[in-house]
Structure 1
């Protein structure tokens, strides 16, 4: 019995791993009507609607959120979408499908319809000052020397990502400032803040978060970028532990089925299972000069090789989309076979 059972189990495990790990890069998968190659200066993200349309945030006031069809053809810009969206998601709920995202510069949190109509706008003042960082007392002058900062000690937020829990609560991370996560209900009412730079969290740039629906109850999965790790927290804010560490600046995370995909800013994409084990790694860039920089020129791009992943998303089929931090804008696609 043992001689039959062990090989059978190994075969099942091997097949499951192979299926989960089988992705194929799709070069030049998106296109514009005029044949241009440049999406635009990107410090943003990517999300996929239920109909397969791919939404891409760009730092361009005229085209803050661009939409591509499932076949990669450019379709439209989303009206009224800001140019400083950072860590936005698309969430389907009883009332329809909506875009949720924080504004990195302005500090407010938006809920928009897919065609750009504002449904909810939470101002930065909704977050208590005790959970905000303060601007420094000095800043760099034109000559590069420190000069007094007229905005010294002003409370600020630098919100970098958010997601929506099954009950509609909103979770937003202040990843470029305090490293706190701020929780609101679905109407925008502030509920609480947790996390931060002190133990047990000890975050250093909690850059992107997602609701991890692989668990019951769901959890928050977060990219603690400068610490090189991905962590779990409960929806009430308890620190549950480290999922995986020793990553190359994990910057973004998305969940589908039993898998989570992690975009690493220093040139790699890692897919893990529910237990935190690596299933596969994609786009590995071994050139240090191309890792984590937004200035890699178009003629240096290599199909299927990433430089600075900053956003990740799945479509319904399980294909993976990776947005780059890049002055020209670039979106990778890895199709699940």
Structure 2
């Protein structure tokens, strides 16, 4: 077993060198501003109070780089994946108390999926391969997906597509997310690599791939396939929702990979779709400015879609507008509230927890539903 994999179950590993890390400051990070006291954000029936100091932790003891994704387990614990190898995984209760931390082997920790398998919670951890070293320089290594227990014991890694003949050697593999079908099939979104969706069975055996950039039918082309989720909302056969982030869109496919439709989200560079009952929630990492600029810092928010896939609220952004049934370009709030929305967790009370990328080492933020 490689050294990297040996690191996977390690817990309670915080380096002494981190003891001098800065303490956490809430609000006014980057361009972001704390909303005035008691002011709500969001629109329509989806309005929230921002709880900036929900997470009861200090980055002096549990250092953070980016908070990428969060899941809730069957015990009600909130499990967060980040990319700081002192503690890739942080485990909170719903009050924000830090219960546990572990994981030193995911420098590119990016995607986190929790699945109930025979009454047991398991994790699918996606390391995209991109990371920042201790000198602050961008680095890369092989991306990979690991199936683990909720306390970090390795069950198995998924094979690399180069080693099983699924990719040409010149095609990069930088996976960003997974989704698990009812039959146990595993879908991997190669969002930072070659933009394919790879399908494996429950044992990790490769089945097929689709997507990429070279399809005659352009509906199958993906452009930064950053996220993927199983959608059960129709009550019929579940379908896949795939993010095509650079297209400002979600694309829908059958579980066999047949294209169904595209939902356009103009102006919003969305991350993973999070399906909760009849709604889709997504972090918006960047939004286009009114002058047409893209990839501008501190332009993120959250977007919420209803059962009909219409945007009904943009917490941290401007209210969605439709003209003649067509969604108009979406923008962040005139005074930015968040930095970069990367993932959203919805709890049983419909409160939200926002994980942010590139947000000055801030932990997840709670949005209390009102």
Structure-1-length-normalised TM-score: 0.77
Deviation at 1:125, TM superposition (A): 4.2
Assess, with a 3 A threshold, how the Cα gap between structure 1 residues 118 and 95 changes in structure 2: closer, same or farther. farther
Structure 1 residue corresponding to 2:127, chosen from 103, 106, 111: 103
> Do the aligned residues in 1 keep the contact of 2:54 with 2:96 (CA within 8 Å)?
yes
RMSD, matched Cα = 2.6
Match of 1:323 in 2: 355
Structure 2 residue corresponding to 1:257, chosen from 273, 277, 293: 277
| Structure 1 residue ranges without an equivalent (≥5) | 1-16, 135-152, 293-301
Match of 1:163 in 2: 179
Q: Which has the higher mean CA deviation after the structures are superposed, 52-61 or 221-230?
A: 52-61
> Do the aligned residues in 2 keep the contact of 1:57 with 1:85 (CA within 8 Å)?
yes
Match of 1:63 in 2: 87
Deviation at 1:39, TM superposition (A): 4.8
Match of 2:366 in 1: 333
Cα distance in structure 1, aligned partners of 2:220 and 2:184: 24
Cα distance in structure 1, aligned partners of 2:69 and 2:163: 24
| Secondary structure of the corresponding residue to residue 226 of structure 1 | helix
| Structure 2 residue ranges without an equivalent (≥5) | 1-42, 130-141, 287-299, 320-330
Match of 1:204 in 2: 223
Aligned ranges for residues 233-252 of structure 1 at < 5 Å?
233-252=253-272
Cα distance in structure 1, aligned partners of 2:362 and 2:163: 32
Q: Which has the higher mean CA deviation after the structures are superposed, 310-319 or 115-124?
A: 310-319
Match of 1:306 in 2: 338
> Do the aligned residues in 1 keep the contact of 2:108 with 2:128 (CA within 8 Å)?
yes
> Do the aligned residues in 1 keep the contact of 2:86 with 2:104 (CA within 8 Å)?
no
Structure-2-length-normalised TM-score: 0.71
Assess, with a 3 A threshold, how the Cα gap between structure 1 residues 127 and 306 changes in structure 2: closer, same or farther. farther
Larger radius of gyration: 1
> Do the aligned residues in 2 keep the contact of 1:108 with 1:124 (CA within 8 Å)?
yes
| Secondary structure of the corresponding residue to residue 317 of structure 1 | coil
Greater share of helix: 1
Match of 1:176 in 2: 192
Deviation at 1:43, TM superposition (A): 6.0
Assess, with a 3 A threshold, how the Cα gap between structure 1 residues 43 and 334 changes in structure 2: closer, same or farther. closer
Aligned ranges for residues 196-235 of structure 1 at < 5 Å?
196-197=212-213, 198=215, 199-215=218-234, 216-235=236-255
